[in-house]
Amino acid sequence: MGVPEIGIGLIIGFISGFIPGLHPNLISQFLNSLGLLSFEIAIILVFCNSILDYFQTLIFAPDEESALAYSPILKVLREGGAAPILKLLRMAILSSLLLFLLLLPLLSFYFSFLKKIKRFVVWSLPFYISFLIFKEKNKIETLLIFLISGILGWFSIKFLKNPLFSLLSGIYGISNLIIKEEVREIEYRKLFGLPIRKREIILSVLLGFFGAVFMHSFPALTPSQVSFLFLPLGIYEKLLAIMCLTISDSLLSLWLPFSYGKSRIGALEMVKEQIKQSNFFYLLNLSIISMALSFFIGKFILRFNLGKYKRWVIGLIIFIQVLIEIKGLSFLILSSLLGILTDKLKVKKGFCMGCLIIPTLIYYL
């Protein structure tokens, strides 16, 4: 067990978990370029982020994985304070882990089969994206944002060595920090129960988990693009389903190098050969420890009002961009403007993932 790597991973994971737009893929890419990335660090970064995203949503602005939960979280916060959100998150962690372990043999068979028909799956992606756009009320604006983000993504991949940081930090980081109002104090209230029945809990957990499986079946899909599964649910049920979706996404990404040969999350893909040579249950224990520690650290940090430091966070994102690749600043500015435009047009930010989907389609098709 690499104790120094685990310690370093936890420190970086806790810090990055509270910086909007600083995705584990971006940090792993930077560490990998310095020869400092190990599989322990990559796993800790991914699982710390999957939990701290929800605390970050309450403090700053949501990134892609937590943006879907942003509205339900605020509604629950108004009704019951932070306590029910924390209780739902604990429930999501435990239920996602249990369901993942129970279905592991079936998942292994499914993804092995999926590998054989990968070409067909990629061909079906344009039809699915067209369906999502057609479902929106503002179809023209949504299509426009999707295409603009795709063009921006294609050019950034062509001209930058590290395009993801510029794209995601602008679209989901800086733009949200500029738009979002100051965070009000988080209220804690005693919680004796949730207004949600056992049957609804089971349904939410199942929808969240199988939503993650569906997301892993198509390249470049994001949580917000499978949110149609949660439409019939109430606010508490929807938030639980979203939490299960993002946690299950990380768990499946950890398992995929063993069964599929490729991980959906870039941070784990970079170290997939190390992951394949490791004991899976050691990796699973490492992920559980990371989630548990992240939960308690997040709960502690939530008691401080960090919203007033968002200008410092924007400055830090720009500083990191300069360190990674100075010519990426122009793409960081453009992607930030795209994020602001998306908000002004009232288009779901998930459609900005055209910056990855369109280049993926061009590559495969």
pLDDT per residue over 206-248, tens digit each? 999 999 998 888 766 777 777 767 767 788 888 899 899 999 9
Reading the chain (365 residues) residue by residue, the pLDDT tens digits are: 466 777 888 888 887 777 766 778 778 877 877 788 888 888 999 999 889 888 877 665 444 444 445 567 766 766 666 778 888 999 999 999 999 999 998 888 888 787 777 667 667 778 878 888 888 888 999 999 999 999 999 999 889 887 877 887 888 778 877 776 544 444 444 444 567 888 888 999 999 999 999 888 876 677 777 776 776 778 888 889 989 999 999 999 888 887 777 777 778 888 888 888 888 888 999 999 999 999 988 888 777 665 556 677 778 788 878 877 888 899 999 999 999 999 889 888 878 888 888 887 887 66
Report how far apart, in Å, the C-alpha atoms of 9 and of each of 44, 49, 256 are. 6, 11, 21
Q: Are 62 and 291 in contact (CB under 8 A)?
A: no
Spatial separation of the C-alpha atoms in residues 51 and 35, rounded to whole Å: 27
Spatial separation of the C-alpha atoms in residues 157 and 319, rounded to whole Å: 21
Q: What are phi and psi of 363, to 5 degrees?
A: -65, -45
Torsion sign across C-alpha atoms 269, 123, 210, 223: positive
Spatial separation of the C-alpha atoms in residues 81 and 103, rounded to whole Å: 34
The pTM is what? Answer: 0.79
| pLDDT given at position 61 | 46
Q: Are 315 and 146 in contact (CB under 8 A)?
A: no
| pLDDT given at position 189 | 47
> 180: exposed, middle or buried (C-beta count within 10 Å: 0-12, 13-18, 19+)?
middle
Q: Which residues of 267-286 are buried (b: 16+ CB within 10 A; e: fewer)?
A: bbbbbbebbeebeeeebbeb
Spatial separation of the C-alpha atoms in residues 5 and 7, rounded to whole Å: 5
Instruction: Provide the angle, in degrees to the nearest 10, between the axes of the packed helices 235-259 and 83-102.
Output: 40
| pLDDT given at position 21 | 62
| 3-state SS assignment for residue 117 | coil
